């Protein structure tokens, strides 16, 4: 059963073509392997959704946190269907090297209602996604779960004022460990919550009545597949912030433990 945050669809940055399709793969490049900076090997990153916005958010976040080598340039080319992104690093000598990271989306259940309505339920959905993606693709290196949810303003006794947010959970190996499907002790978890924004009362009433936020947005603002486009945050901000960028910042924050393997989280 699709969930509000996952395998429905989400926004893309207005500077890039809209991403559509039912499958998603991306290749990203970095000279830094989190937890092992001396052996740059291909990393497999699994996003627990086929939503192209989530795939792009993870793609961009890993590039930002573990960037390509100094003095190189990165080019991203995108084909619309099937969703595919390829990043090639070009050296100063003009030669190209294969990308070292791959990002791919898989469809998994969140294990929570299609529209999570609490902070705890939303976080559980993100963690379930990451863990189920790991069960589905145990040979990967990193698993990313993103779950969007809403809750009520605790100061609003009418329960007509809802707030929207999302949780990101990243699972990956501890520094210096070789992760396999049975080594939970070698697993590290990073998590972060997005910024929170208030929904209009009109939208909140629809969600409170049982409608998913994405569907409520379509009723309120028209259009289709807002989850694969700018999402509620894009509609309400006039695309000053779109759903992809909104998620991307939280993925970056969830990667903090992997960027700082010498610290305790």
How many domains in the chain? 1
Residue 14 lies in a domain: no
Task: Check residue 67 and give its pLDDT.
Answer: 78
Q: In the chain, count H helices and then E strands.
A: 7, 10
Task: Check residue 152 and give its pLDDT.
Answer: 95
Q: What is the largest CA-CA distance in the chain?
A: 65
CA of 196: how far to CAs of 45, 148, 150, 187, 235, in Å? 27, 11, 9, 29, 15
What domain range is 45 assigned to?
Answer: 24-259
Residue 17 lies in a domain: no
Residue 13 lies in a domain: no
Residue 9 lies in a domain: no
Residue 18 lies in a domain: no
Residue 173 lies in a domain: yes
Residue 10 lies in a domain: no
C-beta of residue 59 within 8 angstroms of C-beta of residue 85: yes
Residue 19 lies in a domain: no
pTM exceeds 0.85, yes or no: no
Coil, strand or helix at 56? helix
CATH number at residue 182: 3.90.950.10
At 233, give phi and psi (nearest 5°): -65, -35
- pLDDT tens string, the chain, 265 residues long: the values are 444 444 543 333 333 333 333 333 333 333 334 444 444 556 789 999 999 999 999 999 998 998 765 544 443 333 222 334 433 333 334 444 455 678 999 999 999 999 999 999 999 999 999 999 999 999 999 999 999 999 999 999 888 899 999 999 999 987 655 444 444 457 899 999 999 999 999 999 999 999 999 999 999 988 765 555 688 999 999 999 999 999 999 999 999 999 998 899 8
Integer-rounded Cα radius of gyration of the chain: 18
Task: Check residue 147 and give its pLDDT.
Answer: 98
C-beta of residue 49 within 8 angstroms of C-beta of residue 144: no
């Amino acid at each position: 059963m699709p969930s509000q945050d996952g395998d429905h669809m989400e926004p893309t940055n207005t500077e890039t073509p809209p991403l559509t399709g039912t499958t998603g793969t991306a290749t990203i490049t970095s000279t830094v392997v989190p937890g092992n900076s001396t052996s740059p090997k291909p990393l497999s990153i699994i996003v627990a959704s086929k939503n192209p916005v989530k795939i792009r958010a993870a793609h961009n976040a890993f590039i930002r946190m573990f960037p390509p080598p100094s003095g190189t340039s990165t080019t991203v080319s995108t084909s619309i269907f099937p969703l595919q992104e390829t990043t090639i690093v070009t050296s100063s000598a003009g030669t190209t090297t294969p990308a070292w990271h791959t990002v791919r989306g898989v469809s998994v259940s969140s294990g929570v209602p299609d529209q999570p309505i609490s902070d705890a339920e939303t976080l559980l959905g993100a963690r379930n996604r990451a863990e189920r993606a790991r069960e589905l693709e145990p040979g990967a290196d990193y698993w990313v779960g993103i779950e969007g949810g809403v809750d009520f303003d605790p100061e609003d006794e009418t329960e007509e004022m809802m707030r929207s947010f999302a949780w990101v959970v990243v699972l990956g190996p501890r520094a210096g460990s070789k992760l396999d499907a049975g080594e939970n002790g070698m697993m590290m978890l990073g998590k972060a919550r997005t910024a929170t924004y208030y929904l209009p009362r009109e939208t909140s009433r629809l969600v409170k009545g049982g409608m998913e936020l994405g569907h409520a947005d379509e009723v309120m603002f028209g259009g289709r597949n807002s989850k694969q486009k700018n999402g509620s945050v894009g509609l309400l901000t006039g695309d000053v912030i779109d759903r992809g960028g909104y998620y991307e910042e939280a993925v970056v924050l969830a990667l903090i433990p992997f960027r700082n393997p010498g610290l305790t989280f």
